[in-house]
Amino acid sequence: MLNIEINGKPFEAKEGETILEAVRRAGFEVPTLCYIKDLAPTGACRMCVVEVEGMPGLVPSCSYPAANGMKIHTHSARAVRARKTVIELLLADHPNDCLYCSRNNQCELQSLAADLGVRDERYAGAKSSYKQDLSSPSILRDSNKCILCGKCVRVCEEVQGVAAIDFIGRGSRAHIGTAFDEGLNVSSCINCGQCILVCPTGALTERTYIKEVVAALNDPEMIVVASHAPAVSVSLGEEFGLPVGTDVDGVMVAALRQLGFEYVFDTSFTADLTIMEEGSELVQRVSTGGVLPMLTSCSPGWIKFIEEFYPDLLPNVSTCKSPQQMMGAIIKSFFAERMKIDPKKIFSVSIMPCTAKKFEAARPEMMHHDVPDIDAVLTTRELALLFRMRGMDLQAVTPETADTPFGERTTAGKIFGASGGVMEAAIRSAFFLITGKELGDLNVEAVRGLEGRKEARVQIDGLDVGVAVVSGLTNAAKLLDEIRAGRSDLHFIEVMTCPGGCIAGGGQPLSTNKDKIRERMKALYRIDSNEAKRTSHSNEWVQRLYKEYLGQPLGEKSHHLLHTHYAEREVLL
Average pLDDT of adjacent 10-residue blocks, the chain of 573 residues: 95 95 96 95 94 96 96 97 97 95 95 96 92 97 97 98 96 93 95 98 97 97 98 97 96 97 97 96 94 97 98 98 98 96 97 98 91 97 97 91 91 97 96 93 96 95 94 98 97 98 98 95 97 96 96 96 93 62
What pLDDT score was predicted for residue 545?
Answer: 97
Q: 211-562 sits in which CATH class?
A: alpha beta
Buried b (16+ CB within 10 A) or exposed e, 57-83: ebbbbbbbebeeebebbbebeebbebb
Is the bond preceding 405 in cis, omega lying within 30 degrees of 0?
yes
What CA–CA distances, in Å, run from 294 to 361, 419, 535?
23, 17, 21
Catalytic residue among 53, 182, 337, 365: 365
Catalytic residue among 21, 108, 278, 308: 278
Buried b (16+ CB within 10 A) or exposed e, 247-262: bbbebbbbbbbebebe
What CA–CA distances, in Å, run from 533 to 67, 281, 401, 408, 421?
56, 23, 16, 10, 15
Q: Rounded to whole angstroms, how far apart are CA atoms 362 and 372?
A: 8
Instruction: For domain 128-207, give its CATH number from 3.40.190.10, 3.30.200.20, 3.30.70.20, 3.20.20.70.
Output: 3.30.70.20
Q: Rounded to whole angstroms, how far apart are CA atoms 252 and 255?
A: 5
Rounded to two decimals, the pTM is 0.95
357 is catalytic: yes
Q: Rounded to whole angstroms, how far apart are CA atoms 358 and 340?
A: 28
What CA–CA distances, in Å, run from 99 to 123, 140, 210, 285?
21, 18, 18, 55
Catalytic residue among 307, 348, 502, 516: 502
Catalytic residue among 360, 408, 424, 519: 360
- Phi, psi torsion values for 485, nearest 5 degrees: -80, 0
344 is catalytic: no
Strands 371-372 and 166-168: unpaired
Task: Provide CB contacts within 8 A for 294, sequence distance 6+.
Answer: 278, 281, 282, 285, 316, 317, 318, 491, 492, 493
Q: Rounded to whole angstroms, how far apart are CA atoms 305 and 388?
A: 35
Q: Which residues pair with 244 in a beta bridge?
A: none
Catalytic residue among 48, 146, 298, 354: 298
* Identical fold, 2-89 and 211-562: no
What CA–CA distances, in Å, run from 201 to 100, 197, 212, 488?
13, 10, 25, 45
538 is catalytic: no
Where do the domains of the chain lie? 2-89, 128-207, 211-562
CB 476 within 8 A of CB 162: no
DSSP 8-state secondary structure symbol assigned to residue 540 = H
Strands 346-352 and 9-13: unpaired
What pLDDT score was predicted for residue 370?
Answer: 87
Q: Which residues pair with 204 in a beta bridge?
A: 141
How many residues in total does the chain contain?
573
HSE-CB of 458 using CA atoms within 13 angstroms: 28
Its CATH architecture, for the domain 2-89, is Roll (3.10)
Q: Rounded to whole angstroms, how far apart are CA atoms 229 and 372?
A: 18
**What is the distance between the terminal CA atoms of the chain, rounded to a whole angstrom?**
47
Catalytic residue among 318, 333, 350, 536: 318
320 is catalytic: no
360 is catalytic: yes
365 is catalytic: yes
DSSP three-state, residue 71: strand
Catalytic residue among 321, 357, 414, 516: 357
